[in-house]
Amino acid sequence: MAGKNGFEQLQKTLEEVQLALEELGGALGEVNYDPEDPASIESAIQAVYQMVDEKTEAYASNQIVMSLVAETKEGLREQIIQHASQARLESDGDS
């Protein structure tokens, strides 16, 4: 019987991963920030982190989901930083 319980647990874990991926695949929300203000950028990053946490809080006990959440947060952080950097470069070019 232990094998069946292990399989059922694995199946539940994988179902949660799929549901979490669906949550993360949709729109999280919108953040606005001043690309010239590091505090504003950091605030936007924290807001995105909170959005991700809210979308996935039901799966907090699932280690696979939490690993995906960490990767998602890092990717979003990098996107915000790159976008802010690009916006600064474009505004410098307009001067």
Q: What are phi and psi for residue 27, nearest 5 degrees? A: -70, 130
Whole-prediction pTM: 0.82
Q: Tokens for 51, please give them.
A: 């959005």
Q: Tokens for 61, please give them.
A: 């006990």
Does residue 95 carry a pLDDT above 80? Answer: no
Q: Tokens for 94, please give them.
A: 């307009």
DSSP 37: -
Calpha distance 50→89 (Å, rounded)? 28
pLDDT digits (tens, 9 = 90+) for 19-75: 998 888 877 889 999 999 999 999 999 999 999 999 999 999 999 999 999 999 999
| 48 in Cβ contact with 76 (< 8 Å) | yes
Number of structural domains (the chain) is 1
Q: How confident is the model at residue 3 (pLDDT cuts 50, 70, 90)?
A: low
Residue 19, domain extent = 2-94
Alpha helices in 26-95 (DSSP H): 38-56, 63-94
